[in-house]
Structure 1
Amino acid sequence: MSAGKLAVVYILVTICCFQASAQKSKNQLQKEKQQNLEKIKETEKILSETSTKKKNSLGELNAVKQRIHEQEQLVNSIKGEVRILDSEIGENNDIIRALEDDLRKLKKEYAAMLFAAQKANNSTTRLTFLFSAESFDQLIMRLRYMEQYSETRKLQGEQIEKVAETLGGHVREIEVRRTEKNTLLSEEEKENENLDNLRKKQNTIVKSLEKEEKKLKKDLDATKKAVAQLDKLIEDIIREEMERASRSSKKTTEAVVALSSSFEQNKNKFPWPVSSGFVSQKFGRQNHPVLKGIIINNNGVNIQTKEDEKVKCIFEGEVSRIAFIQTMGNTVIIKHGDYLTVYAGLKEVFVRSGQKVNTNQDIGRIFSNSEGVSELRFQIFKNTTALDPQTWLKNM
């Protein structure tokens, strides 16, 4: 195989490898972008429901913060696509330069072969070359050489056509990629504008809420009292369960151990207790979103969701307790061996104490407060230890 042909093969292999890698990255980014657009749609619905009942509420602020986060991810996805296109355009330019260089060399070789062929094409010269052979074997070898030379010239012409065709294809491809890039840049500009508008909206809500400091503190005190009641309820249940476990038979203890082990093995795989929504307040100690110097401690996570959303059990177990807490609504507590899951903030309950429940079974419907905020308080305990639910639930 000639050096020119080897170069063509190398270029074509390089093209295929690069295009496969780039396409894989683009597919992943497009998938992430589509998922992000779906999340944005869900959050927009939650934001619309929240802002309809009361403008400039904490629920609206949380929803806007989530929208900003999702908008930033969307912009980053678009930037990632632009980077891939830039890389593709750069790679195509390199390939085009290599093909142009290879084409020049092939044409130069072909021109030299044509010149040599024209000189040798003279019938006298051809006959002299053949009959000057010193033996019959040498005559046959010279005949074969002349045939091979003619075939090589034909192949060289085909190579030139192939390289020229490939070169033309990449020139057209680069124009397509530039068009895609310009479209994405326009999209990025539009989404950045949306992001700026969301940040302005966030600042407006914060400034409005800062003027309602007294009301926010009053609401916070009411929430603290409700949370204290919930914490006391959970403590009582945990104590009762531990006392019951100490009196249990060996068979019962083995069943508890087996269920606890199964629960642990599903870490990071549990479904979310609601079909749509976002974490509006994380686990642990954190600053109040508006009130300066105020620290909030959360034994679980708050998930802001849509109005009338159904709440589901994340794993099989038994309903340990159902209770009503003022300002918080109904609470369902389910035991899973040594583990408890807590679902607080329900307006309706579909289960009863002592009932066996399955994974993804509907246990109630979410409660919406006077400000239009539909928020579930979700907690996971192992005995007396509160665990971060986000490390147990699968990504949403």
Structure 2
Amino acid sequence: MSDTESRLGMPSGAGAWDERSERWLAEGAAGTAGRAGEAASGAEVPRAVPRRGAVDPVKALMHRHRELCERAVDPLEIAAGLEAHGVTDRTAARFRHRDVFSLAEEMFARVPRDGDSQGFPSASPSASASASVGREWGWALWALLPGALCAAAVAGLRLTEGQTRLLVAAAGVLAVGLGLRLALARGPLSRHGAPSAARPATGVWIGWLLGYAALGDGLLRTAATGGPDTLPTGAPDGPWPLATAPLLALALSCAPAAWSARLLAGRARRRLTSSRGLEEFASAVRPLLLGSFALYLGALAALLALCAAVLDEPAGYAPTLALGALLLLARLLTAHGFTHAPAVVLTACASGEAIALAGVFAGRLPGCGFLSVPAEELLDAWGAGSVPALICAAGALTLLIHAGRTLTRASAHAHPTPSP
């Protein structure tokens, strides 16, 4: 079974298909022999319809993708699967179809089925409607959980001090991490509605990026000016200040991120229904992707301004918006099954921030002053926030280009097959 068919949940049994294919081939051969006999006797022979005789390229294509055809619940899933296998509109022309969608419609119409249920358990309309309503409101509530937990943690940090403050910070990190995991395991940001299966290393790099957003700028400024003289206190007026506004804004932005992903998926699905070609579909989905991306950035900017005003902290728009864009695009790609590029880019961005910090500290060693020059030049020119802003913006731009090529495919928006 191919990776795409496995991702769509296609079954592996195909014995019935083999029997039907042999029967079709036998019938086609018998029909050809009968027409040959009529021609020899001088009878008028009607012109045979292409693709319906003994040599039927569509039938051969159906047999090659028999699991995809038999399990598909509509022609769109067949079109998405064919596109993922490299079938283009030009390829469909060889099967005498104008595009992949019309070819998929014929394949879907010609699939023999024993019943309408297609092996899925039946459910009453009222039960299905109740379950659908539960899913609608469920994911929306889970998307609000990280922001609520982060707001409680920030309030706790503001009301405590000393060792109690450290305990509150540790508890807040654990609570927000758990809430974020629960939110990403449900709804539009989950991997096709299944529990998230992100690589452990990816979670570590995301944690580093968020930690740098809270502590990195203060540490970089302190290192560039001679290093901390005392242990980090985390106080706003201490040598290593804690930036809570970016973290709170990013946590609250989980809700608009989920809504943006839902908007993209819903509109893309409707475009998939109305489009009559892969290029037409890609051209229609690309503005939807950019619009959803811009909608999230606008919501994040508004939340960041509100959090900065309430907490009386610098907003830091550039690094926070770049980090938010990076995390959203990485999650969108992961949710649609494209996990390699997000893992590579997140690793590169986290490594870039670590190298910038390490270069500043290593520049104090004799003869190694050149190592701190890039970070110090950026720090003097545009401030400490320019380092994560440039790194995360470069990563976000890379993922945006990649998403423009992958998330505009029909196969990226095929509905998952219901599980038994």
Taking structure 2 as the reference length, what is the TM-score of the superposition?
0.23
Q: Find the structure with the greater CA-based Rg.
A: 1
Q: Which has more strand, going by share of residues?
A: 1
Q: Which has more helix, going by share of residues?
A: 2
